[in-house]
Amino acid sequence: MIEVEVISKTLDAEDIFRFELARTDGAALPVFGAGAHIDVHLPNGLVRQYSLCNHPEESHRYEIGVLKDPSSRGGSVAMHEQVKAGDRLQISEPRNHFPLAHEAKRSLLFAGGIGVTPILCMAERLAHSGGEFEMHYCTRSESRTAFRQRIADSGFAGQVQFHFDDGDPAQKLDAASLLSSPVDGTHIYVCGPKGFMDHVLETAERQGWPANQVHREYFAAAPVNHDADAAFEIQLSSSGQVLEVPADKSALEVLLDQDIDIPYSCEDGVCGTCITRVLEGEPDHRDMFMEPAEHAANDQFTPCCSRAKSKRLVLDI
């Protein structure tokens, strides 16, 4: 864990605060790559993940942007209403599940809303390294567009196109045109609300873009109907212990109730921290982290949100 101080808290756009963090001991922060995120331990005891959006070359500070989510379970509300400049927080070292592909000759960056945070970091990195790219940034309106001035003042402003939901129809995102045909060496990166991401990703798939050239990061899991959830069992391979997972609890909750040490973070199926190997049984995958091929293999699952199609899962724990 790293103790940091909130150096500044700035309202950057409607319902979006920008936080600048620096180590309390004055030492350099760990290096990170574009697309990385950190865990932030909040005053109310919650842990939330936020993408780093400052230049990856910077080691004296981290910068994150936080949208106040109306459906928040306490994370964004705490950041907006409780955390202030001068406060001290505990954070993790950066982790990166959404890196730039080093082999890419050209990059197409698609950001929706607060999904701009990792995408902006990618733009900074590509501009600094001379990589060819263009960025498309979609928001509801200009007033809800975070980092607009920073982009305007950057050396890559000419490579960024803004698309506002309430703007002229002519400036709306035309994903079908932008992704009209696959280009060898061009990679696509998408981050934002699920509806926005589905639109871009489905367009890319329809146009025949290879899966290994399309990269995504979800910030929240899709709503799941739990009415049909049923109890199932998990067995720990190390001890043979069998635990029942009730219909109204997750496998992760059951494991934690038994004081079984398992890494976890988002509890929502988007970060991949709790992924656990499955030795026997068939999972009912509900995460937004793994690729379809990984789901099809059925040899790992996310106990924070996924369940079982078989009566029992034997886990590598």
Q: Is the pLDDT of residue 69 over 80?
A: yes
- Provide the pLDDT for residue 219: 78
pLDDT at residue number 50: 94
Any idea which fold 106-218 has? Rossmann fold (3.40.50)
Look at 69 and 155; give whichever has higher pLDDT.
155
Question: How many angstroms separate the most distant Cα atoms in the chain?
Answer: 63
DSSP the chain: -EEEEEEEEEEEETTEEEEEEEETT-PPPPP--TT-EEEEE-TTS-EEEEE--S-TT--S-EEEEEE--TT-SSHHHHHHHT--TT-EEEEPPPB-SSPPPTT-SEEEEEEEGGGHHHHHHHHHHHHHHT-EEEEEEEES-GGG-TTHHHHHHSTTGGGEEEEETTS-GGGS--HHHHTSS--TTEEEEEEE-HHHHHHHHHHHHHTT--GGGEEEEESSPPP---TT---EEEEETTT--EEEE-TTS-HHHHHHHTT-----S-SSSSS-TT-EEEEES-EE---SSS-HHHHHHTSEE-TTT-EESSSEEEE--
Handedness of CA 309, 311, 314, 317 (dihedral sign): positive
- pLDDT score, position 285: 95
Q: pTM of the predicted model, to two decimals?
A: 0.84
Question: pLDDT tens digit string along 144-161?
Answer: 999 999 999 999 999 999
315 within 8 A of 282, measured Cβ to Cβ: no
In the chain, domain spans: 2-91, 106-218, 232-315
Q: What is the mean pLDDT of residues 80-85?
A: 95
**CA pair distance 234, 197, nearest whole angstrom:** 33
Could you read off the pLDDT of 232-277 as tens digits, one per residue? 999 999 999 999 999 999 999 999 999 999 988 788 888 888 999 9
Total count of residues recorded for the chain:
317
pLDDT of residue 224: 67
Distance CA 304, CA 269 (A): 6
Q: Give CA–CA dist 156/71, Å, rounded.
A: 34
CATH architecture of 232-315: Roll (3.10)
Whether the predicted pLDDT of 223 surpasses 70: no
Predicted local confidence at residue 266, as pLDDT: 80
Instruction: Give exposure, 53-69, as e/b (b: 16+ Cβ within 10 Å).
Output: bbebeeeebbbbbbbbe
Of the pLDDT bands very low, low, confident and very high (cuts 50, 70, 90), residue 221 is low
**Rounded mean pLDDT of the chain?**
94
- The pLDDT tens digits of the residues spanning 181-196 come to 999 999 999 999 989 9
Percent of the chain with pLDDT over 70: 98
Say if CB 119 and CB 191 are below 8 A apart: yes
Q: What is the mean pLDDT of residues 59-67?
A: 97
Tokens at 263, concatenated: 């890494």
Q: Which fold has domain 2-91?
A: Elongation Factor Tu (Ef-tu); domain 3 (2.40.30)
- Range in 10-24, 62-76, 108-122, 194-208 the model is least confident about: 62-76
* Beta-bridge mates of residue 90: 3, 41
